[in-house]
């Protein structure tokens, strides 16, 4: 009797509380969503965008940066990106070249036009602010599924869109975050919102992606990315003024030896 009881109990315990399997199915669903998000954004090849960056601190002090961003999709790897500053004027012509990778460290170079110097920079500083903004270097690199582990949280409506909510934990080294909570809409698998949690696991920043536009009948791009730091009350808006997918960009345009040409 007792033996069967125990057996039954064990059986019940295993069927009712299978923590590992529950997590597995949760993460499977979340991975499916993440994979679909990435899949829907494959094949854009290259793009060239004019972007305004608007920075605001808690005292309401504002600053603007004008930049152009050239991006190149790389099959089976992270993207290549070349960011060139047009303003503020003292950094005009400064170019930032980045090869992002899923789990390997990114490769980064900066070109300083006044010195005509190309400097390799350590990509370890992923958590460092990008040009004094609320965007960290790691927020600016391309999204790859393998960069995170996933957990399905539930569903919620954001910006009038029904969204999946998933938690993603960075798997690459030296991230400034313990986790990110991501809202991905059901209609097109576009990211609508991200919450970033710091090393103390408290909410650090909230990113809202707005005004999505469809390009080439396939690729959605947000025209506004609004990042708010809830701890410091500083914010940075990235506003896409123009984006073009019919570029003739090739690997050669993303060569550190050719950064001097950037303008």
Partner 1 sequence: MKKGWVCCALFVASNSYADIEISGVVGLEQRYFLQDALYENQERSYSSAFLMPELYSEWNGGTDTLVVKPFYRIDQHDNERTHGDIREFQWAHYADSWETRVGIGKVFWGQTESLHLVDIINQTDTVEQVDGEAKLGQPMVNFNYFSDFGMFSIYAMPYFRERTFQGENGRLRPPIAIGEALYESDDEERNMDVAIRWQSSIDDWEVGFSVFSGTTREPELVTVLSADGEPEILPFYAQIEQVGVDLLKVSGAWLFKLESIYRSGQTENFAALVTGFEYTKQGVFGSRYGLGFLAEYQFDEREDNFFAVGQNDLMAGLRVMVNDIAETEMLFGFVQDLEEQGTYSGFIEASSRLTSNWSWKLNGYFFSSDDIEDPYYFLRRDDHVQFSLEYYF
Cα Dmax for the chain = 86
Nearest CA among 214, 257, 205 for reference residue 234: 205
State how far the Cα of 71 lies from the Cα of 207, in Å rounded to an integer: 21
H/E stretch holding 39 reads: helix 19-39
**Residue of the chain from 14, 22, 35, 132 that contacts partner 1 (CB under 8 A):** 132
User: Encoding tokens for residue 198?
Assistant: 């710091």
- 103-130 burial code (b ≥16 CB/10 A, e <16): eeebbbbbbebeeeebeebebeebeebb
Per CB under 8 A, 233 contacts partner 1: no
Per CB under 8 A, 116 contacts partner 1: yes
Which of 31/262 has CB closer to partner 1? 262
**Residue of the chain from 140, 176, 190, 193 that contacts partner 1 (CB under 8 A):** 176
User: Encoding tokens for residue 142?
Assistant: 């391309």
**Residue of the chain from 70, 147, 190, 256 that contacts partner 1 (CB under 8 A):** 256
Q: CB 127 → partner 1: shortest distance, Å?
A: 5
The pattern of x and - marking residues 50 through 69 that bind partner 1 according to CB under 8 A reads: -----x-x---x-xx-----
The answer to whether residues 65 and 88 touch, using CB atoms and an 8 Å cutoff, is: yes
User: Encoding tokens for residue 246?
Assistant: 């019919």
Segment near partner 1 (CB under 8 A); pick from 10-18, 121-129, 144-152, 157-165: 121-129
Using CB under 8 A as the binding criterion, the count of chain residues that bind partner 1 stands at 39
Interacting residues toward partner 1 by CB under 8 A? 55, 57, 61, 63-64, 87-92, 105, 107, 115-118, 120-125, 127-129, 131-132, 174, 176, 199, 232, 252, 255-258, 261, 263
């Amino acid at each position: 009797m007792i033996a069967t009881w125990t057996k039954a109990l064990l059986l019940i315990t295993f069927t009712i509380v299978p923590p590992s399997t529950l997590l597995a199915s949760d993460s499977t669903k979340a991975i499916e969503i993440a994979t679909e998000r990435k899949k829907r954004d494959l094949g854009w090849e290259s793009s060239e965008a004019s972007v305004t960056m608007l920075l605001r601190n808690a005292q309401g002090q504002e600053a603007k940066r004008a930049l152009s961003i050239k991006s190149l999709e790389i099959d089976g790897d992270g993207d290549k990106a070349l960011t060139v500053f047009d303003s503020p004027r003292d950094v005009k012509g400064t170019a930032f070249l980045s090869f992002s990778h899923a789990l390997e460290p990114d490769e980064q170079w900066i070109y300083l036009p006044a010195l005509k110097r190309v400097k390799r920079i350590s990509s370890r500083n992923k958590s460092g602010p990008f040009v004094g903004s609320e965007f960290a270097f790691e927020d600016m690199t391309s999204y790859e599924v393998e960069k995170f582990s996933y957990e399905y949280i539930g569903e919620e409506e954001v910006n009038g869109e029904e969204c999946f909510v998933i938690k993603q934990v960075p798997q690459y080294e030296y991230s400034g975050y313990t986790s990110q909570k991501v809202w991905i809409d059901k209609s097109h698998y576009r990211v609508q919102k991200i919450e970033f949690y710091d090393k103390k696991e408290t909410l650090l920043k909230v990113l809202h992606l707005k005004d999505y536009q469809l390009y080439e009948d396939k690729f959605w791009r947000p025209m506004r990315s609004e990042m708010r730091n809830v701890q410091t009350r500083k914010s940075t808006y990235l506003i896409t003024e123009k984006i073009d997918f019919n570029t003739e960009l090739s690997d050669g345009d993303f060569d550190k030896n050719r950064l001097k040409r950037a303008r």
